[in-house]
Amino acid sequence: MLAVSISRRILSIAMCAGFLGSLALIPSHAQSSNELAVRPSAADRAAVRQVTHLSRHARPANLDLAPARTGTLPAHPASAAAPAAAPSSPPLARSPGDLSYHGGAVVEFTESHAIYLNPNGSCTIASCWGDPEGFLTDLGRSEFIHAVDQYVGLNSDNRYTVGGRATFKFKPGPASPGFASTPFTDADMLAVVHAVASATGETGYTHIYHVFLPPGTDECFDSSFTVCYSPDNLNSFVFCAYHGSVDFTDIGHVLYTVEPYQNVRSCHVRTGTPNGQLVDSTNNVLSHELIEVITDPDGTGWWNSMDNGLKGEEIGDECSFVIPHFFDPSTIRIGRRQYALQLEYDNFEHACTARE
């Protein structure tokens, strides 16, 4: 039941403090001119305890017990997606999958910032995640990103770009019951995001912070350790990634995603994708979360409000097709490269589509 409910709207107003203080976070040496090195402090943790708004929406893990879809959505192609035709007029009738607008903000243009958590400096970006920033750059210049146009009300190019990065070294905490080491919590993620956003001064809807976790690192919503990314503990393994927004009392509104290591069973893509499972699993979930932030940053934007088994699902949730143990993306050409990416829901087409 929990794995089902996690795909619905998850909202809370207050959050408990995390335990980032139990982890020794050390700033990395700068690797490029736009890389930031900062240390989350007691002030950052205090800022997390004082937030006035927190919204989160998770992508469920593809677990064996997850319910199968019942055929309410159009079938998707197994490998290649045809580009969606431009509609001549708005739809006259709704489909069970259509998204509804709930009056809140959308993201018309923004800059993405990568934050890499690096255990003892043992990961390189290429070996642990591939090239997320390169992918985000390609995605922002692509036709595929224009899937969001009908929801944000703009159709100009190059609205979604890539900014600077931050990297942190950390020492994993001691083992917790059922876990190889102490999991991070969302409060820990927010302390890291607060530290980076405070240093850059870049907040609001024009900036998104993507926090990437390395292999072997679990992360949970809170210190109860019951709703988690935890491939090593199936009792608590619920989600693969999530996006959220938060209001800090000192720096204001901040958008973020949490991107655990995706090349694990129940989160990775099927075999045989163009760039291999590590790279394509990372990019597949990153595109899912970014596009959902754009269309529903605060939980009050676009999502399915029909009571048909899809209630609460966002633009990416409805097209996150699965086969046993794997997500099943389509092969989509972006510029001169091919990527394995899930499709996105199109209200005009009443279907999951891609633009190439």
Domain boundaries, the chain: 2-353
How far is the C-alpha of 349 from the C-alpha of 351, rounded, in Å?
Answer: 5
Category of 201 on φ-ψ map: left (φ > 0), alpha (ψ -120 to 50) or beta:
left
Chain-centre distance for alpha carbon 237 = 16
Chain-centre distance for alpha carbon 329 = 16
Identify the CA nearest to 356 among candidates 137, 139, 149, 119: 139
pLDDT at 64: 64
pLDDT at 17: 34
pLDDT at 112: 98
Q: How far apart are the first and last CA of the chain?
A: 37
pLDDT at 38: 65
pLDDT at 355: 75
pLDDT at 25: 42
How far is the C-alpha of 84 from the C-alpha of 23, rounded, in Å?
Answer: 47
- The answer to whether 305 and 94 are in contact (CB under 8 A) is no
- The answer to whether 96 and 306 are in contact (CB under 8 A) is yes
- The answer to whether 83 and 288 are in contact (CB under 8 A) is no
pLDDT at 22: 40
pLDDT at 171: 84
Q: Residue type at 96? A: P
* pLDDT, averaged in runs of 10, over the chain (356 residues): 31 35 40 62 96 96 58 32 39 78 98 93 92 96 96 97 92 89 96 95 98 97 97 96 98 98 96 96 98 98 92 96 92 91 95 84
pLDDT at 356: 64
Structure tokens at 216: 């072997």
Structure tokens at 259: 């991107």
pLDDT at 336: 82
